[in-house]
Amino acid sequence: MKTTPLKGMKDILPREQRIRDYVQGEILRVYRAAGFERITTPIMEDLENLDKSDGGDNLNLIFKVLKRGEKLEKAIAAGSEKDLADMGLRYDLTLPLSRYYAANREALPSPFKVIQTDRVYRAERPQKGRLREFVQCDIDILGDESANAEIELIDVTARALLAIGFSDFTVQINDRRLLRAMLEHFGFEKQTLDTVCVTFDKLDKIGPQGVENELNEKEMPPQAVAALKAFLEKGAFRLEDVAAVCADKTLAETLARVIETVKTLSKGKYAIEYTPSLVRGQGYYTGMVFEVSCAGFPGAVAGGGRYDEMVGKFIGQKVPAVGFSIGFERICSILLDNGYEVPDEKKSLALLYRPDADFADVLEKAQHLRAEYRVTVLAAAKKTGRQLDRLQQAGCSAVCFYEKFPEIKMLEVKQ
């Protein structure tokens, strides 16, 4: 039998688990204090729901669950792949939340401020820092169309990141509608905007010249590419410049208000900046999108945006929605790599007993010591010297020999 976990999935050892539980606890504490309520949805969803969810590339990465019994026999006889499965593992928490809200909205408050912290699945090619099973921590506000929802999500997510010891991070923000309006103004056609955005999203990686080359390869109208190039060459990209070339002034005004408000709230502990090339992968975003990047760590540690059309797909009635998701795995792996140790609430103590001890009394003494320590009951080894060394290396702070109770011997911390 194979002892390794499946490809792209991992076993969590106790030390990493302590960090994960601590991080999740702190995030939940901050979110709950702000009146958000936790819910849970099943990890499996109807495959048709997943397929229709505008999940972008993620739709190619869905793990499908095989049908059973007669249904499966029929599908095999038909010999077609698409009939073999009718359930899939979710690739994010946004589609399940939208379904959940559609199903339970009568029982939920409006606006609904909700927490989800749970596993999602993507059949990606496994690589360092990219897992096939991973945890996301999301907060969402459903039923609030105002940009105050965006502000509150950014404020609360930033406070969660600060609570777990992250600082020196930057919230990057954009509005997809603003980007699309600007590109249309330059002369790109509406139906090509998705592919133009894909190229534009790479601005910080390939630079203005790279963007121009790629758009030419994609055979975009030369005068549109030229207009965009001229704009890019003006250098630093300011929201005012983009606003100046857009017909709808309220989009830029609202984005400016969000940025100003968050700046005030941040008290200088973190930054927020307009990032005109930010697009984000999911197809379901309809308005503002945002990401958190952290000095010294590549990629985003959190991301989100507004998705006003998703719930409507279920109930035929538009429900405004915004979400922000913390990349839990990335956060935990940064802490783990940096040798982070979770502060122990109580020191740990080993209560060592000999085979002839009255075990009921051993456990009662252990319970007594638990007022002050986290107590593990262990059979004493014949030679206790090596046992004490091992306990010490494993982070145990104290021992008590049952026959000498309540005498406690403190162990020196080994580094």
Binder among 261, 275, 282, 397 for its own copies (CB under 8 A): 261
177 binds its own copies (CB under 8 A): no
Positive or negative, the Cα torsion across 366, 369, 372, 373? negative
Query: Whose Cβ is closer to its own copies: residue 229's or residue 257's?
Result: 257
Cα–Cα–Cα angle for 227, 232, 236, rounded to 5 degrees: 145
Tell me which residues in 355-374 interact with its own copies (CB under 8 A). 355, 359-360, 363-364, 366, 370, 374
Cβ atoms 323, 301 nearer than 8 A: no
Closer residue to its own copies (CB): 131 or 181: 131
Residue with tokens 């099943």: 42
The values of phi and psi at residue 36, to 5°, are -80, 145
CB 415 within 8 A of CB 389: no
**Nearest residue (CB) to its own copies, 200 versus 274:** 274
Cis-peptide into 406, omega within 30 deg: yes
Binding its own copies by CB under 8 A: which of 59, 84, 193, 408? 84
Residue of the chain from 57, 71, 109, 207 that contacts its own copies (CB under 8 A): 109
**Separation between Cα atoms, residue 379 and residue 298, nearest integer Å:** 47
Minimum CB distance to its own copies, residue 146 (Å): 7
**339 torsion bin: left (phi>0), alpha (psi -120 to 50), beta (else):** left
Rule CB under 8 A: is residue 340 a binding residue for its own copies?
A: no
> Would you call 215 helix, strand, or coil by DSSP?
helix
Asked if 348 touches its own copies (CB under 8 A), the answer is yes
Q: Is 394 in the site for its own copies (CB under 8 A)?
A: yes
Task: Please work out, in degrees rounded to the nearest 5, the angle formed at the alpha carbon of residue 33 by the alpha carbons of 28 and 39.
Answer: 50
Instruction: Give me the least distance between CB of 385 and its own copies, in Å please.
Output: 17
Q: What distance in Å separates the CA atoms of residue 237 and residue 155, rounded to the nearest whole number?
A: 25
The span from the CA of 194 to the CA of 130, in Å, is 26
382 binds its own copies (CB under 8 A): no
Near its own copies by CB under 8 A: residue from 26, 124, 155, 201: 155
One residue of 26, 43, 59, 229 binding its own copies per CB under 8 A: 43
Query: For 374, which DSSP code?
Result: E
For β-strands 37-38 and 112-121, DSSP reports them as: parallel
CB of 205 vs its own copies, minimal distance in Å: 28
By beta-carbon proximity to its own copies, the closer residue of 182 and 310 is: 310
Residue 269 touches its own copies, criterion: CB under 8 A: no
Among 218, 238, 346, 368, interactor with its own copies by CB under 8 A: 346
Alpha-carbon distance of 237 to 208, in angstroms, equals 12
Q: Which of 68, 125, 128, 382 binds its own copies (CB under 8 A)?
A: 68
Quick check: 231 binds its own copies (CB under 8 A)? no
Minimum distance, C-beta of residue 174 to its own copies, in the bound complex (Å): 20
**The residue to which tokens 């306990």 are assigned:** 391
Contact status: 380 vs its own copies (CB under 8 A): no
Interface with its own copies in residues 280-339 (CB under 8 A): 313-315
